A = this chain, B = another copy of it.
Amino acid sequence: MEHLNIALLGAGRIGQVHAANLAGRVAGAHLYAIADVSGEAAQRCAQHYGVAIAVDDYQRLLADPLVHAVAICTSTDTHARIIVEAAQAGKHIFCEKPIAQTLESIDLALAAVKSAGVTLQIGFNRRFDASFRRARAAVVNGEIGRLERVHIISRDPAPPPISYVRVSGGLFLDMTIHDFDMLRFLTGDEVEELFVMADALVDPAIGAAGDVDTAVIMLRFRNGAIGTIENSRRAVYGYDQRVELFGSAGALRTENHYQNSALVSDAHGVRRDLPYYFFLERYSESFAEELRAFVSTIQHSTPTPVTGWDGRVPVVMGLAAARSLRERRPVRLDEIDASWGV
């Protein structure tokens, strides 16, 4: 197959990011069709990228034999169902995170993928960021010895609307889920137990909606390393995305990424402009890279770099975090998932 015909399901914000990449920056991909529950949104996106087919019913695209793969960018509550349908239709699947907010739904989706033998890649794009890849490489190649500590700072520039907070599944499943995945990616290890302190420090309305906006999570890994994640829904200086690793032979940290490298000195100090504002700017390259990996995986029949299991575990971690916060005690992951650690 020379080009992979990909149908984009969902033309919202993240769908448009993928559309732009599929249209021009992913060799081997052909953005073949676009579906959105709003047919108008599908049309608009299709027109912008010169795509011939735009529909409001994604199932028409699953039925089209020319579609080789789908990119699922619909609302979270539809992911698992569409994965099942796409797998049954024999399509390869790229799906935005999270697969679902319950393990039951996830397990049904993964079973369908397994039985159909199609490729499923979950949209943990940060794994494809050059700085985090470099961090992972340092662990793999032994540059910093045996890993003992991982610290992740992950702060959004500003909280989402309360309406979004209410349906987000909570901070741990909506935001921290990326950091749970990053921990697993960086360490190559699994977590046994975690403990959470969290609060609604940024906006009381978030607390009133039953969620938190500030959280620190401490996690113990099977090999003994200790992880910490800190999240905030608000960083006035822009998107704060850093990791810091510490091992027996050294340490590694990544810095934020900036749009320009200018340093200005004046009578008041030395300063530079703020880092990239949010994920669209900060991770623009990684969004293209994850799709390149998806296409390459299918073309060369290699293992997917972000499996369905990789999509499932962070949900286990998120559920454990929610319980730790609720019960104010450390929670073992096998309390959430009986099969954990077997």
CB of A237, distance to nearest CB on chain B (Å) = 4
Asked if A273 is an interface residue, CB under 8 A from chain B, the answer is yes
Judging by beta carbons under 8 Å apart, are A236 and B195 in contact?
no
Judging by beta carbons under 8 Å apart, are A274 and B269 in contact?
yes
Judging by beta carbons under 8 Å apart, are A235 and B259 in contact?
no
Segment from A7-15, A78-86, A142-150, A311-319 that makes contact with B: A142-150
Q: Which 4 A-B pairs have the closest CB atoms?
A: A24-B24, A250-B266, A271-B271, A237-B265
Asked if A140 is an interface residue, CB under 8 A from chain B, the answer is no
Asked if A342 is an interface residue, CB under 8 A from chain B, the answer is no
Segment from A114-122, A130-138, A168-176 that makes contact with B: A130-138
Segment from A68-76, A105-113, A220-228 that makes contact with B: A220-228
Asked if A255 is an interface residue, CB under 8 A from chain B, the answer is yes
Judging by beta carbons under 8 Å apart, are B265 and A274 in contact?
yes
Segment from A33-41, A53-61, A197-205 that makes contact with B: A197-205
By a CB distance below 8 angstroms, the chain B residues around A273 are 134, 269-270
A226-B214 contact in complex given A236-B267, A261-B131, A267-B236, C-beta closer than 8 Å: yes
By a CB distance below 8 angstroms, the chain B residues around A195 are 195, 197, 218, 330
In the assembly, what is the distance between CA of A202 and CA of B148, in Å? 9
Name the interface residues of A238-273: CB closer than 8 Å to any CB of B.
240, 246, 248-257, 259-273
27 contacts between A and B (CB under 8 A): A25-B25, A131-B261, A134-B262, A138-B264, A145-B236, A146-B201, A148-B201, A148-B202, A149-B214, A149-B232, A197-B226, A201-B224, A201-B248, A202-B248, A214-B226, A216-B226, A218-B218, A236-B248, A237-B251, A237-B267, A249-B266, A252-B262, A254-B260, A255-B263, A269-B273, A270-B275, A329-B329
